[in-house]
Structure 1
Amino acid sequence: MSGSIKVVGFGPGSFEHITDRARQAMVTSHVIIGYHTYVDLIRDLLVDQEIVRTGMTEEVSRAQTAVKLARAGKDVAVISSGDAGVYGMAGLIYEVLIESGWNPSESLQVEIIPGISAINSCASLLGAPIMHDACTISLSDHLTPWETIKRRVEAAAMADFVIALYNPRSGRRTSQIVETQQILLQYRSPDTPVGLVKSAYRAQQHVVRTTLAHMLEQEIGMLTTVIIGNSTTFYHGDLMITPRGYQRKYTLDQVEQRLRPGERLHVENEPWSLRAVQSKENTPVLTKQKASMSATLDSLQLAQEALSRVQMSATSAQQSSTLLGQVNERSQMAVQTAPQQVVDFVVAVAPGVANKRFTAEQLICLADLAKDQGEVHYTADHQIELRIKTEDPQAVVDQLREAGFYVFPVGEVVKVKACDFCDGEKAESIPYARELTNRLGGRKVPKELCIGVNGCAMACYGAVLEDIGIVYRKGKFDLFLGGKTTGRTACAAKLMAEGIPANQIVNLVEQIVNEYSEQAFPSERFHKFFARVGIVAGFSYDKTTAPVVVDTVCGT
């Protein structure tokens, strides 16, 4: 017999904010499945339940485990902080079930138990900032392209929503919150109230009240929820308040109201309402506004206006068709005459694969491109990142290449990190490092992947710590796979093979990258992929750590 899955939102984590239904679901389940931190938060509620703990980014494995145990007859509680249906586990549980062929008529039952989402718990500590229309936007681009997220931020800014930003910044994602502030400042006053709440209703709770202009001066991390007011939000002492609009209809300081209850919804008493606009002089909106269409509207505005008019119009289909024809004609003209769009452009450059020296001309080229508004960053992968605004990214790339730079895209791509081969004195393996760079450098992969290349057994540039490491020794290569360079569980890669012929190494590494690209989950790091699939390019994953014997001195 099948068991059940209860997807439990337990709110911010404090016991007094966990609903009775959530407590009951967790206490009566056979198995509790959750992220390490979430399990720790509710552990005191548990008795003798089996606990399955996993790390961050392992949501799919949690969902798969829950389905497997439920099909085996267990009652399973999958826990999420906040509300399980808001960036939680609810949707993923359903997706995994559907992929397995499940339908709601089966004996395996699923229940989603709601909790208090971060937007609500954080708003309560600030005052009443989400009294009017509000939206949530996650700034994490692990599952959603950043360009899509930027469009959502701009749409919410244009529409004057109160905005709650989830996952605003992490140790590796630092630019998204900066770009978000830049977008919002195009549509909102620098004095717009902003509340920053970290770990609401937990022991580490921290609340900061600031403004849109100064928000980045404060500490913002993954546990922070950022609530940005709309054009009417104001501070009253420490309280952040967004008016609902009652002051337009009621006199708040008088008991006797100007309008009786039956009069408040009349068109003449709500001149701002859609009904009032439509009924004015009994003239359809389509006809009234058609004459005032601005010649400066761009194609997007024209399309939006046409859609709204078609929806509101009481005119015939023939009139609508005529208007859309006019919009289409003018949209084409706007596209033909529109200037090139300015974009935020980020590109990585290096003076060479083995060469680490920048010429004066190359530094001048970077300075000229960056000017006053651009930025130049030196990265841990021995690259310079150039961040600028430009109308012509290809012209920038061409200019960098003319200056003698290797030019690479940034993001979820392959990076080849080679040593300087003792300033070129140990040059035997440089051609292989260059070929790897030319074949694989900048290739799109599920998650950023680093290939380390060292030209001798000293491996002083840390190739054995990277996702894929190759070390040149005695005319051949040693291969290392699955290193983890960051985090408290950081570890060196495992030695897979010694003495690989030099003429085989590039093809072998390319095969490994190809298998990773084809089989890895989105955003799955190489070391997790290797552990999950077990075999890559014929090399088997081994949890044990074999000692690496360095039997030669540098250069022999």
Structure 2
Amino acid sequence: MERTTGKLLIVGFGPGSFEHITKRAKEAIQESDIVIGYNTYVDLIRGLLSEQQVVRTGMTEEVSRAQEAVRQAEAGRVVAVISSGDAGVYGMAGLVYEVLMERGWRRETGVAVEIIPGISAINSTASLLGAPVMHDACTISLSDHLTPWRVIERRVEAAASADFVIALYNPRSGRRTRQIVETQRIVLKYRSAQTPVGIVKSAYRDRQDVVITTLGEMLEHDIGMLTTVIIGNSATSVYEGLMITPRGYQRKYTLGADVQPLRPHERLRTEAEPWALETVGVTEQDAGSEEAGWDEDGETLERLAADREGSEARRTEAVSGSWLAAEPAGHNALRRQTVGIAPSPAKAAAASASPLSLALEALRLVDASRGVATAEQGQGVDGGRAAAAFRQEAIFEFTVSPGLANKKLSAGQMMLLAEIVGDAGELEYTPHHQFIVRLRTDDPDAATGRLREAGFTLAPIGDVVQIKACDFCNMEKAESVPYLERLGAGLGGAKVPKELRIGFNGCGMACYGAVNEDIGIVYRRGKFDLFLGGKTVGRNAHAAQPVAEGIEPEALVPTIERIVARFRAEGHPNERFHKFFKRVKELEGYRQQDLPVFAIDNAVCGD
């Protein structure tokens, strides 16, 4: 089977300046047929564009970008999907792969995929601040758009308690303001208020701003979505206006000395490295053994054993050969060359139990005492607890209504809906005579089955066809309802590039506002009038354009189906229907006409 000819280039172009875009990233953008990206990112790399088709979308529309990229690549095109920073760090790489996985992609036969790495925000920010991430560091996004806040909160707590240098991505937006406040509160439990903090906005871009402050005062400075915040660890200091984190908590060398006072084997002493989790232990028998000898600069294991003698807290029991065989590669040479004698069973059990396994066993016992089920079967204690702690939460959401034409709910239906949603779910009433239901459930079919049996109409939400209708004057003017129901059965919930609303009115009064929707249908004198391209919100909101009068009833549904089919096939990701109509100029013989532009004069004072 031959490989599909298209190609996906997932490009990380770094912080945004041309000097920091890699050669391969520039080549990838220039060799592509189509460039897909967030509006701001497209603007940043505009100087690299020539004849490429550009598909640009707004914030939060990453899924649409990924889906369109895969669709274009499968059609044989070379597609560049751009991300600032590195595409694999909170970028588009993983999302594109998710879309490919959903479509059954195979590396050997599917579209080719190349990930082009870029400089991530933690790196570009750190370079402007000095050297704040010289020791163990982590990145945490404070956006709870896709990750529950309680999970983010636990990660901040864990990173703060473990003394990681912490880089905060997406720290604050116009609507998300509490997360950065809560993060500061958590970290202050473990670190001094004087801990250095670096705040960098728009690194290596025109509006770059660099601030070094403290953990206690960080919220006094401007922090937004274009900002990366780096919180130092307990060893980070400020020198000459720069954040410096040393390579170790205890230094292994002395700066400024030509000859280091600690030779390699001496650095392995617990006195020199007291933070080490494992120390080399020998028994008196080992120290006297030829096999235990290790000579460098006149030092032997006997010397090391003597250094440790009398300090029981720092001694460890010798380990057996089977334990050594399981030792991970890369452990120090002293540990590998120590020949142990078999310890007592009690001491062997203690030696084989790592601090982590002991802690997890303690947690298991606590859970058992509280009646909490564990997940040890088939996974082990470690895997079971980890899986339980970070189990992905599935939230099922859909719309519920009593019907397209019917707007009345019975008491029994309301009680059933309340029962199914329960305290853990969420019920949101919309202006369109619908409820949005959000459930935490592993069995959605059970809930939807009961709702359908009770007479509810269910529909998906998101970028789908939504059909809205009036109540036909309490069904006194229901002559056109069969055509509404045919539209609902054929198009309701169909996937489209952007949410498409079809408004349906049963008489010429059009009191339900069908003429303002993307597609408006008004039943009048036994036939239908058609309106296309309404815009319901914004400063330039306008009614739909009247394109036809007197459409025969039997022609209505096929006409609407053809219009929607073309929008599905040719619409850009996230493109509103009114913009699509304006771009293509003609649909089913109906031509788009530009609306007159009205000049709005400022009001005269006193009028």
State the TM-score bracket (shorter-chain normalisation).
Answer: 0.5 to 0.7
Q: Distance in 1 between matches of 2:33 and 2:228?
A: 33
Match of 2:187 among 177, 184, 187: 184
Q: Which residues of 2 match residues 24-103 of structure 1 at below 5 A?
A: 24-103=27-106
Q: Distance in 2 between matches of 1:316 and 1:53?
A: 69
Map of 2:534 onto structure 1: 545
Match of 1:497 among 470, 478, 486: 470
Match of 2:251 among 240, 243, 248: 248
Map of 1:374 onto structure 2: none
Q: Distance in 1 between matches of 2:94 and 2:114?
A: 12
Measured after TM superposition, the shift of residue 189 of structure 1 is 0.8
Q: Distance in 1 between matches of 2:128 and 2:269?
A: 38
Measured after TM superposition, the shift of residue 253 of structure 1 is 2.5
Measured after TM superposition, the shift of residue 134 of structure 1 is 0.3
Give 1:7's aligned amino acid. I
Which digits, 9 at most, give the CA deviation of each residue in 1:61-93, with x for residues without a partner?
111111111111111111000000000011111
Q: Distance in 2 between matches of 1:132 and 1:536?
A: 60
Q: Distance in 2 between matches of 1:331 and 1:32?
A: 51
Map of 1:271 onto structure 2: 273
Indicate if the aligned counterparts of 2:8 and 2:81 stay in contact, CA closer than 8 A. yes
Q: Distance in 1 between matches of 2:433 and 2:245?
A: 51
Which digits, 9 at most, give the CA deviation of each residue in 1:200-223, with x for residues without a partner?
011111112111111112121111
Give 2:124's aligned amino acid. S
Map of 2:596 onto structure 1: none
Q: Which residues of 2 match residues 73-152 of structure 1 at below 5 A?
A: 73-106=76-109, 108-152=111-155
Map of 2:209 onto structure 1: 206
Give 2:534's aligned amino acid. T
Which digits, 9 at most, give the CA deviation of each residue in 1:127-146, with x for residues without a partner?
11001110000011111111
Indicate if the aligned counterparts of 1:209 and 1:238 stay in contact, CA closer than 8 A. yes
Q: Which consecutive residues of structure 1, in runs of 5 or more, have no partner in the other structure?
A: 291-309, 339-410, 415-428, 453-462, 469-480, 485-492, 504-514, 521-527, 550-556
Measured after TM superposition, the shift of residue 21 of structure 1 is 0.6
Q: Distance in 1 between matches of 2:283 and 2:107?
A: 53
Indicate if the aligned counterparts of 1:412 and 1:449 stay in contact, CA closer than 8 A. no
Please state if 1:194 is matched with 2:207: no
Which digits, 9 at most, give the CA deviation of each residue in 1:466-504, with x for residues without a partner?
999xxxxxxxxxxxx9xx9xxxxxxxx99743656499x
Measured after TM superposition, the shift of residue 254 of structure 1 is 2.2
Q: Distance in 1 between matches of 2:367 and 2:160?
A: 24
> What is the DSSP-based 3-state SS (H/G/I as helix, E as strand, rest coil) of the residue aligned with 2:191?
coil
> What is the DSSP-based 3-state SS (H/G/I as helix, E as strand, rest coil) of the residue aligned with 2:40?
helix
Give 2:209's aligned amino acid. H
Measured after TM superposition, the shift of residue 106 of structure 1 is 1.8
Which digits, 9 at most, give the CA deviation of each residue in 1:500-526, with x for residues without a partner?
6499xxxxxxxxxxx9xxx99xxxxxx
Measured after TM superposition, the shift of residue 270 of structure 1 is 3.8
Which digits, 9 at most, give the CA deviation of each residue in 1:162-206, with x for residues without a partner?
000101111121111111111111111111111111110111111
Map of 2:237 onto structure 1: 234
Indicate if the aligned counterparts of 2:16 and 2:205 stay in contact, CA closer than 8 A. yes
Measured after TM superposition, the shift of residue 257 of structure 1 is 2.3
Q: Distance in 2 between matches of 1:43 and 1:220?
A: 27
Give 1:198's aligned amino acid. K
Indicate if the aligned counterparts of 1:131 and 1:244 stay in contact, CA closer than 8 A. yes
Q: Given the superposition, is the C-alpha separation of residues 226 and 68 from structure 1 closer, same or farther in structure 2, using an over 3 Å criterion?
A: same
Measured after TM superposition, the shift of residue 245 of structure 1 is 2.5
Q: Which residues of 2 match residues 470-489 of structure 1 at below 5 A?
A: none
Match of 1:219 among 195, 214, 222: 222
Q: Distance in 1 between matches of 2:397 and 2:97?
A: 31
Q: Given the superposition, is the C-alpha separation of residues 449 and 110 from structure 1 closer, same or farther in structure 2, using an over 3 Å criterion?
A: farther
Please state if 1:171 is matched with 2:180: no
Q: Distance in 2 between matches of 1:116 and 1:26?
A: 16
Q: Distance in 1 between matches of 2:56 and 2:72?
A: 14
Give 1:4's aligned amino acid. K
> What is the DSSP-based 3-state SS (H/G/I as helix, E as strand, rest coil) of the residue aligned with 1:249?
coil
Q: Given the superposition, is the C-alpha separation of residues 326 and 49 from structure 1 closer, same or farther in structure 2, using an over 3 Å criterion?
A: closer
Q: Distance in 2 between matches of 1:116 and 1:327?
A: 38
Q: TM-score, normalised by structure 2?
A: 0.54
Q: Distance in 1 between matches of 2:17 and 2:470?
A: 51
Which digits, 9 at most, give the CA deviation of each residue in 1:393-451, with x for residues without a partner?
xxxxxxxxxxxxxxxxxx9999xxxxxxxxxxxxxx9x999x98996799699x99864
Measured after TM superposition, the shift of residue 267 of structure 1 is 3.8
Measured after TM superposition, the shift of residue 95 of structure 1 is 1.3
Matched residue count = 393
Measured after TM superposition, the shift of residue 529 of structure 1 is 8.6
Which digits, 9 at most, give the CA deviation of each residue in 1:303-326, with x for residues without a partner?
xxxxxxx99999799864997999
> What is the DSSP-based 3-state SS (H/G/I as helix, E as strand, rest coil) of the residue aligned with 1:13?
coil
Q: Which consecutive residues of structure 2, in runs of 5 or more, have no partner in the other structure?
A: 287-311, 315-326, 371-394, 399-406, 437-458, 477-487, 506-513, 520-531, 536-541, 545-607
Indicate if the aligned counterparts of 1:413 and 1:448 stay in contact, CA closer than 8 A. no
Indicate if the aligned counterparts of 1:413 and 1:442 stay in contact, CA closer than 8 A. no
Indicate if the aligned counterparts of 1:166 and 1:225 stay in contact, CA closer than 8 A. yes
Q: Given the superposition, is the C-alpha separation of residues 536 and 237 from structure 1 closer, same or farther in structure 2, using an over 3 Å criterion?
A: farther
Structure label with greater radius of gyration: 2
Q: Distance in 1 between matches of 2:177 and 2:279?
A: 45
Q: Distance in 2 between matches of 1:464 and 1:160?
A: 50
Q: Distance in 1 between matches of 2:181 and 2:503?
A: 39
Q: Distance in 2 between matches of 1:238 and 1:449?
A: 52
Measured after TM superposition, the shift of residue 255 of structure 1 is 2.5
Indicate if the aligned counterparts of 1:413 and 1:449 stay in contact, CA closer than 8 A. no
Q: Given the superposition, is the C-alpha separation of residues 243 and 327 from structure 1 closer, same or farther in structure 2, using an over 3 Å criterion?
A: closer
Map of 1:5 onto structure 2: 8
Q: Distance in 1 between matches of 2:230 and 2:427?
A: 34
> What is the DSSP-based 3-state SS (H/G/I as helix, E as strand, rest coil) of the residue aligned with 2:470?
strand
> What is the DSSP-based 3-state SS (H/G/I as helix, E as strand, rest coil) of the residue aligned with 1:221?
coil
Measured after TM superposition, the shift of residue 332 of structure 1 is 7.3
Q: Distance in 1 between matches of 2:274 and 2:106?
A: 47
Q: Distance in 2 between matches of 1:202 and 1:169?
A: 19
Indicate if the aligned counterparts of 2:468 and 2:503 stay in contact, CA closer than 8 A. no
| Stretch of structure 1 that moved more, 218-227 or 323-332 | 323-332
Indicate if the aligned counterparts of 1:86 and 1:117 stay in contact, CA closer than 8 A. yes
> What is the DSSP-based 3-state SS (H/G/I as helix, E as strand, rest coil) of the residue aligned with 2:533?
coil
> What is the DSSP-based 3-state SS (H/G/I as helix, E as strand, rest coil) of the residue aligned with 2:5?
coil
Measured after TM superposition, the shift of residue 252 of structure 1 is 0.8
Q: Distance in 1 between matches of 2:226 and 2:422?
A: 30
Give 1:202's aligned amino acid. R
Match of 1:153 among 151, 156, 159: 156
Q: Given the superposition, is the C-alpha separation of residues 37 and 316 from structure 1 closer, same or farther in structure 2, using an over 3 Å criterion?
A: farther
Q: Distance in 2 between matches of 1:128 and 1:234?
A: 10
